[in-house]
Structure 1
Amino acid sequence: MNPQPDSTPAPAPVRGVAPFFAPLQREFDRALADFSGFDLSDVFGVSPRMDMREADGAVELTVELPGMTEEDIRIDLEDDLLTVSGEKKSSAETHDKGMRMVERRYGSFSRSVRLPAGVKPDGIKASLKQGVLTVTAPLVAGSGARKVAIPIKGA
Protein backbone atom coordinates (compact mmCIF):
# COMPACT_ATOMS: atom_id res chain seq x y z
CA MET A 1 0.00 0.00 0.00
CA ASN A 2 1.55 3.28 -1.14
CA PRO A 3 0.62 6.29 0.92
CA GLN A 4 -0.61 9.25 -1.07
CA PRO A 5 1.59 12.32 -0.80
CA ASP A 6 0.04 15.21 1.05
CA SER A 7 -1.10 17.67 -1.57
CA THR A 8 -1.99 20.46 0.82
CA PRO A 9 -0.74 23.71 -0.67
CA ALA A 10 1.77 25.70 1.29
CA PRO A 11 0.23 28.65 3.09
CA ALA A 12 0.59 32.03 1.46
CA PRO A 13 3.19 34.29 3.02
CA VAL A 14 1.69 36.38 5.79
CA ARG A 15 1.96 40.09 5.11
CA GLY A 16 3.72 41.96 7.84
CA VAL A 17 5.62 39.04 9.37
CA ALA A 18 8.91 40.94 9.29
CA PRO A 19 7.71 43.60 11.75
CA PHE A 20 6.61 40.79 14.08
CA PHE A 21 10.17 39.45 14.27
CA ALA A 22 11.86 42.87 14.36
CA PRO A 23 11.80 43.19 18.20
CA LEU A 24 13.32 39.71 18.54
CA GLN A 25 16.03 40.56 15.99
CA ARG A 26 16.86 43.81 17.83
CA GLU A 27 17.17 41.98 21.17
CA PHE A 28 19.40 39.36 19.55
CA ASP A 29 21.57 42.09 18.01
CA ARG A 30 21.88 43.91 21.34
CA ALA A 31 22.75 40.71 23.20
CA LEU A 32 25.41 39.86 20.63
CA ALA A 33 26.82 43.40 20.82
CA ASP A 34 26.90 43.27 24.65
CA PHE A 35 28.57 39.86 24.66
CA SER A 36 31.14 40.32 21.93
CA GLY A 37 31.32 44.03 21.26
CA PHE A 38 30.15 43.23 17.72
CA ASP A 39 27.14 45.21 16.49
CA LEU A 40 25.27 43.73 13.51
CA SER A 41 24.13 47.20 12.50
CA ASP A 42 27.78 47.84 11.59
CA VAL A 43 27.39 45.18 8.90
CA PHE A 44 23.80 45.76 7.83
CA GLY A 45 23.68 49.56 8.01
CA VAL A 46 22.18 52.20 10.22
CA SER A 47 19.53 51.04 12.68
CA PRO A 48 18.30 53.94 14.81
CA ARG A 49 17.06 53.31 18.34
CA MET A 50 13.33 53.73 18.87
CA ASP A 51 11.01 54.03 21.88
CA MET A 52 7.21 53.84 21.85
CA ARG A 53 4.89 54.76 24.70
CA GLU A 54 1.20 55.39 25.19
CA ALA A 55 0.14 58.32 27.36
CA ASP A 56 -2.32 61.21 27.43
CA GLY A 57 -4.58 59.67 24.78
CA ALA A 58 -1.82 59.25 22.21
CA VAL A 59 0.93 56.91 21.10
CA GLU A 60 4.33 58.60 21.02
CA LEU A 61 7.23 57.22 19.02
CA THR A 62 10.72 58.63 19.61
CA VAL A 63 13.55 57.83 17.20
CA GLU A 64 17.21 58.85 17.56
CA LEU A 65 18.40 60.33 14.25
CA PRO A 66 21.45 62.46 15.05
CA GLY A 67 22.80 64.54 12.20
CA MET A 68 19.72 64.07 10.03
CA THR A 69 17.37 66.73 8.67
CA GLU A 70 13.68 66.64 7.79
CA GLU A 71 14.67 66.15 4.13
CA ASP A 72 16.59 62.95 5.01
CA ILE A 73 13.59 61.27 6.69
CA ARG A 74 10.34 59.77 5.40
CA ILE A 75 7.37 58.64 7.51
CA ASP A 76 4.63 56.43 6.02
CA LEU A 77 1.50 54.84 7.46
CA GLU A 78 -0.03 51.82 5.73
CA ASP A 79 -3.03 50.46 7.61
CA ASP A 80 -1.62 50.24 11.15
CA LEU A 81 2.05 49.90 10.16
CA LEU A 82 4.09 53.09 10.69
CA THR A 83 7.44 53.13 8.88
CA VAL A 84 10.24 55.61 9.49
CA SER A 85 12.93 55.45 6.80
CA GLY A 86 15.69 57.60 5.45
CA GLU A 87 19.31 57.90 4.53
CA LYS A 88 22.22 59.39 6.39
CA LYS A 89 24.72 60.47 3.76
CA SER A 90 28.44 60.58 4.46
CA SER A 91 30.12 63.91 4.25
CA ALA A 92 33.12 64.61 2.02
CA GLU A 93 35.41 64.62 5.05
CA THR A 94 34.97 60.86 5.57
CA HIS A 95 36.60 60.21 2.21
CA ASP A 96 39.70 62.16 3.18
CA LYS A 97 42.80 59.98 2.92
CA GLY A 98 44.07 61.42 6.20
CA MET A 99 41.26 59.81 8.24
CA ARG A 100 42.60 57.63 11.04
CA MET A 101 39.31 56.40 12.42
CA VAL A 102 35.70 56.45 11.19
CA GLU A 103 33.04 55.41 13.71
CA ARG A 104 30.06 57.39 12.47
CA ARG A 105 27.55 55.31 10.54
CA TYR A 106 26.08 56.19 7.19
CA GLY A 107 23.53 54.54 4.96
CA SER A 108 19.84 53.80 4.55
CA PHE A 109 17.52 52.63 7.29
CA SER A 110 13.91 51.59 7.69
CA ARG A 111 12.14 50.86 10.96
CA SER A 112 8.50 49.78 11.19
CA VAL A 113 6.20 49.51 14.16
CA ARG A 114 2.60 48.34 14.34
CA LEU A 115 0.39 50.97 15.97
CA PRO A 116 -2.40 49.93 18.35
CA ALA A 117 -6.04 49.96 17.25
CA GLY A 118 -7.80 53.29 17.54
CA VAL A 119 -5.13 55.61 16.12
CA LYS A 120 -6.47 58.64 14.22
CA PRO A 121 -4.39 58.60 10.99
CA ASP A 122 -5.27 62.20 10.07
CA GLY A 123 -4.07 63.46 13.46
CA ILE A 124 -0.52 62.05 13.33
CA LYS A 125 2.16 64.72 13.72
CA ALA A 126 5.95 64.56 13.60
CA SER A 127 8.74 66.88 14.70
CA LEU A 128 12.53 66.72 14.61
CA LYS A 129 14.47 68.51 17.33
CA GLN A 130 18.17 68.13 18.14
CA GLY A 131 18.42 64.79 16.32
CA VAL A 132 15.34 63.24 17.93
CA LEU A 133 12.27 62.51 15.80
CA THR A 134 9.00 62.46 17.73
CA VAL A 135 5.87 61.05 16.07
CA THR A 136 2.61 61.53 17.98
CA ALA A 137 -0.48 59.56 16.96
CA PRO A 138 -3.67 60.52 18.82
CA LEU A 139 -6.02 57.75 19.88
CA VAL A 140 -9.80 57.77 19.45
CA ALA A 141 -11.41 58.25 22.88
CA GLY A 142 -12.35 54.92 24.44
CA SER A 143 -10.31 52.90 21.95
CA GLY A 144 -8.19 51.18 24.58
CA ALA A 145 -8.14 47.44 25.03
CA ARG A 146 -11.22 46.02 26.65
CA LYS A 147 -11.93 42.64 28.13
CA VAL A 148 -15.30 40.98 27.76
CA ALA A 149 -16.26 37.64 29.27
CA ILE A 150 -17.90 35.34 26.71
CA PRO A 151 -20.43 32.93 28.25
CA ILE A 152 -20.33 29.29 27.17
CA LYS A 153 -23.65 27.57 26.55
CA GLY A 154 -24.03 23.84 26.90
CA ALA A 155 -25.45 21.74 24.08
Structure 2
Amino acid sequence: MDNFLRRSGLEVPEPVRRFLQGEADPSLRIEQYQEGDTLVVRIDLPGIDPETDVDISVDDDTLHIQARREENAEHVVKKGYRSELRYGERSRSITLPRGVSGDGILATYEDGVLEIRVQLPEQSESRTTKIRVVRTGGHEAGGHEENQSPEEPENYVT
Protein backbone atom coordinates (compact mmCIF):
# COMPACT_ATOMS: atom_id res chain seq x y z
CA MET A 1 0.00 0.00 0.00
CA ASP A 2 2.82 2.39 0.85
CA ASN A 3 4.41 1.91 -2.60
CA PHE A 4 1.06 2.65 -4.26
CA LEU A 5 0.62 5.86 -2.27
CA ARG A 6 4.16 7.02 -3.09
CA ARG A 7 3.87 6.24 -6.81
CA SER A 8 0.46 7.86 -7.18
CA GLY A 9 1.71 11.12 -5.66
CA LEU A 10 -1.44 11.39 -3.54
CA GLU A 11 -1.19 13.46 -0.38
CA VAL A 12 -2.85 11.20 2.17
CA PRO A 13 -3.41 12.50 5.69
CA GLU A 14 -1.23 10.69 8.21
CA PRO A 15 -4.09 8.98 10.17
CA VAL A 16 -5.61 7.69 6.91
CA ARG A 17 -2.24 6.37 5.70
CA ARG A 18 -1.72 4.55 8.99
CA PHE A 19 -5.17 2.98 8.79
CA LEU A 20 -4.60 1.83 5.20
CA GLN A 21 -1.31 0.24 6.25
CA GLY A 22 -3.01 -1.79 8.96
CA GLU A 23 -1.83 0.25 11.90
CA ALA A 24 -5.32 0.51 13.40
CA ASP A 25 -4.83 -2.80 15.24
CA PRO A 26 -4.81 -1.87 18.95
CA SER A 27 -3.08 -5.02 20.19
CA LEU A 28 0.57 -5.35 21.13
CA ARG A 29 2.65 -7.82 19.14
CA ILE A 30 4.43 -10.24 21.45
CA GLU A 31 7.05 -12.94 21.46
CA GLN A 32 6.28 -15.64 24.02
CA TYR A 33 8.17 -18.75 25.07
CA GLN A 34 8.89 -20.90 28.10
CA GLU A 35 12.33 -21.17 29.70
CA GLY A 36 12.24 -23.97 32.27
CA ASP A 37 9.55 -23.00 34.77
CA THR A 38 9.41 -19.36 33.58
CA LEU A 39 7.10 -17.90 30.94
CA VAL A 40 8.85 -15.12 29.01
CA VAL A 41 6.88 -12.44 27.16
CA ARG A 42 8.81 -9.88 25.07
CA ILE A 43 7.42 -6.77 23.37
CA ASP A 44 9.26 -4.23 21.20
CA LEU A 45 8.36 -0.81 22.63
CA PRO A 46 11.00 1.70 21.52
CA GLY A 47 10.74 5.33 22.52
CA ILE A 48 8.66 4.99 25.68
CA ASP A 49 9.25 5.70 29.34
CA PRO A 50 8.51 2.34 31.00
CA GLU A 51 7.75 4.00 34.35
CA THR A 52 4.94 6.19 32.98
CA ASP A 53 3.87 4.62 29.67
CA VAL A 54 3.38 0.96 30.65
CA ASP A 55 0.79 -0.65 32.93
CA ILE A 56 1.09 -4.34 33.80
CA SER A 57 -1.37 -6.20 36.03
CA VAL A 58 -2.59 -9.71 36.79
CA ASP A 59 -6.27 -10.44 37.30
CA ASP A 60 -8.01 -13.84 37.37
CA ASP A 61 -5.06 -15.73 35.86
CA THR A 62 -4.69 -13.17 33.06
CA LEU A 63 -1.69 -10.93 32.46
CA HIS A 64 -2.76 -7.49 31.18
CA ILE A 65 -0.24 -5.27 29.41
CA GLN A 66 -1.04 -1.75 28.29
CA ALA A 67 1.43 0.67 26.67
CA ARG A 68 1.21 4.22 25.36
CA ARG A 69 3.45 6.07 22.93
CA GLU A 70 2.80 9.76 22.38
CA GLU A 71 3.49 11.48 19.08
CA ASN A 72 5.51 14.68 19.38
CA ALA A 73 2.98 17.44 18.56
CA GLU A 74 5.76 19.83 17.45
CA HIS A 75 6.78 17.51 14.62
CA VAL A 76 3.27 16.87 13.30
CA VAL A 77 2.78 20.46 12.15
CA LYS A 78 6.11 20.64 10.30
CA LYS A 79 6.07 20.70 6.51
CA GLY A 80 6.61 17.30 4.91
CA TYR A 81 5.98 15.44 8.19
CA ARG A 82 5.85 11.68 7.77
CA SER A 83 5.98 9.04 10.45
CA GLU A 84 5.89 5.27 10.13
CA LEU A 85 6.17 4.79 13.86
CA ARG A 86 3.21 3.49 15.85
CA TYR A 87 1.62 5.87 18.30
CA GLY A 88 -1.30 5.67 20.68
CA GLU A 89 -2.41 3.11 23.19
CA ARG A 90 -2.03 -0.62 22.66
CA SER A 91 -2.85 -3.54 24.92
CA ARG A 92 -2.70 -7.30 25.19
CA SER A 93 -4.06 -9.89 27.61
CA ILE A 94 -2.39 -13.27 28.02
CA THR A 95 -4.01 -16.20 29.81
CA LEU A 96 -1.73 -17.65 32.49
CA PRO A 97 -1.82 -21.09 34.09
CA ARG A 98 -3.94 -21.31 37.23
CA GLY A 99 -2.07 -20.44 40.40
CA VAL A 100 0.39 -17.83 39.10
CA SER A 101 1.31 -15.38 41.85
CA GLY A 102 1.82 -11.68 41.18
CA ASP A 103 4.93 -11.92 43.38
CA GLY A 104 6.54 -14.23 40.81
CA ILE A 105 6.40 -11.68 37.97
CA LEU A 106 9.34 -9.47 36.98
CA ALA A 107 9.20 -6.82 34.25
CA THR A 108 12.32 -5.18 32.80
CA TYR A 109 12.88 -2.68 29.99
CA GLU A 110 16.15 -2.58 28.08
CA ASP A 111 17.08 -1.25 24.63
CA GLY A 112 13.41 -0.67 23.71
CA VAL A 113 12.27 -4.16 24.67
CA LEU A 114 9.86 -4.85 27.51
CA GLU A 115 10.43 -8.32 28.96
CA ILE A 116 8.03 -9.88 31.44
CA ARG A 117 9.11 -13.06 33.23
CA VAL A 118 6.38 -15.06 34.96
CA GLN A 119 7.29 -17.78 37.44
CA LEU A 120 4.97 -20.68 36.61
CA PRO A 121 3.49 -22.75 39.45
CA GLU A 122 4.49 -26.38 39.81
CA GLN A 123 2.10 -28.40 37.73
CA SER A 124 0.86 -31.68 39.01
CA GLU A 125 0.73 -34.33 36.35
CA SER A 126 -2.40 -33.66 34.36
CA ARG A 127 -4.88 -36.46 34.01
CA THR A 128 -6.64 -36.99 30.73
CA THR A 129 -10.09 -38.50 30.75
CA LYS A 130 -11.30 -39.88 27.45
CA ILE A 131 -14.97 -39.18 26.82
CA ARG A 132 -16.79 -41.63 24.59
CA VAL A 133 -19.19 -40.21 22.00
CA VAL A 134 -22.46 -42.12 21.63
CA ARG A 135 -24.29 -41.89 18.31
CA THR A 136 -28.00 -41.20 18.70
CA GLY A 137 -30.85 -40.98 16.18
CA GLY A 138 -30.47 -40.88 12.40
CA HIS A 139 -28.78 -43.51 10.26
CA GLU A 140 -25.42 -43.08 8.64
CA ALA A 141 -23.88 -45.10 5.83
CA GLY A 142 -22.42 -48.26 7.30
CA GLY A 143 -24.74 -47.90 10.27
CA HIS A 144 -27.31 -50.32 11.61
CA GLU A 145 -30.18 -51.70 9.59
CA GLU A 146 -33.72 -50.81 10.59
CA ASN A 147 -34.45 -54.19 12.23
CA GLN A 148 -31.30 -54.09 14.32
CA SER A 149 -30.86 -52.08 17.48
CA PRO A 150 -27.53 -50.39 18.14
CA GLU A 151 -25.29 -51.98 20.70
CA GLU A 152 -25.44 -50.24 24.02
CA PRO A 153 -22.08 -48.86 25.06
CA GLU A 154 -20.55 -50.44 28.14
CA ASN A 155 -20.79 -47.23 30.16
CA TYR A 156 -24.20 -46.14 28.89
CA VAL A 157 -26.69 -45.41 31.66
CA THR A 158 -30.34 -46.24 31.06
What TM-score comes out, normalization by structure 1 length?
Answer: 0.63
* 1:119 and 2:94 aligned: no
Q: Kindly indicate whether the alpha-carbon contact (under 8 Å) linking 1:94 and 1:102 is maintained by their aligned counterparts in 2.
A: no
Whole-angstrom distance in 1 between the partners of 2:63 and 2:120: 14
* Structure 2 unmatched runs, 5+: 1-19, 133-153
Which protein is richer in helix relative to its size? 1
Query: Structure 1 residues 104, 89: closer, same or farther in 2, change over 3 A?
Result: same
Given that 1:48 and 1:63 are in contact with CA atoms closer than 8 Å, whether structure 2 keeps it comes out as yes
Distance 1:151 1:96 in 2: 64
- Within 2, Cα distance between the matches of 1:88 and 1:72? 7
Q: What RMSD, in angstroms, separates the aligned Cα atoms of the two structures?
A: 2.5
CA contact (8 A) 1:52 1:61 kept: yes
Deviation per residue, 1:82-127 (Å, 9 max, x gap): 1110210112442242234221221111111111234232111100
How many residue pairs end up in the alignment? Answer: 115
2:43 and 2:125 map into 1 onto residues whose CA distance is 25
1:82 aligns with 2:69: no
Indicate the residue corresponding to 1:13 in structure 2. none
After the TM superposition, which residues 123-142 of structure 1 pair with which residues of structure 2 at under 5 Å, given as runs? Answer: 123-141=104-122
Give the TM-score, by structure 2 length.
Answer: 0.62
Task: Specify the structure having the higher radius of gyration (Cα).
Answer: 2
**Letter of the structure 2 residue corresponding to residue 49 of structure 1:** R
User: 1:50 and 1:144, CA in 2 relative to 1: closer, same or farther beyond 3 A?
Assistant: farther
How far the C-alpha of 1:73 sits from its partner, in A, is 0.6
Structure 1 residue 150, shift from structure 2 partner: 6.3
Q: Which residue of 2 aligns with 1:65?
A: 45
Separation of aligned partners in 1, 2:24 and 2:130: 50
CA 1:124–1:101 in 2, change beyond 3 Å: closer, same or farther? same
Instruction: Give the 4+ runs in structure 1 shifted more than 4 A.
Output: 149-153
2:55 & 2:82 partners in 1: Cα distance?
30
Percent of pairs identical after alignment? 28
Instruction: Give the Cα separation in 1 of the matches to 2:84 and 2:125.
Output: 43
Residue 107 of structure 1: which of 72, 88, 102 is its match?
Answer: 88
Name the structure 2 match of 1:33: none
Q: Which residue of 2 aligns with 1:43?
A: 24
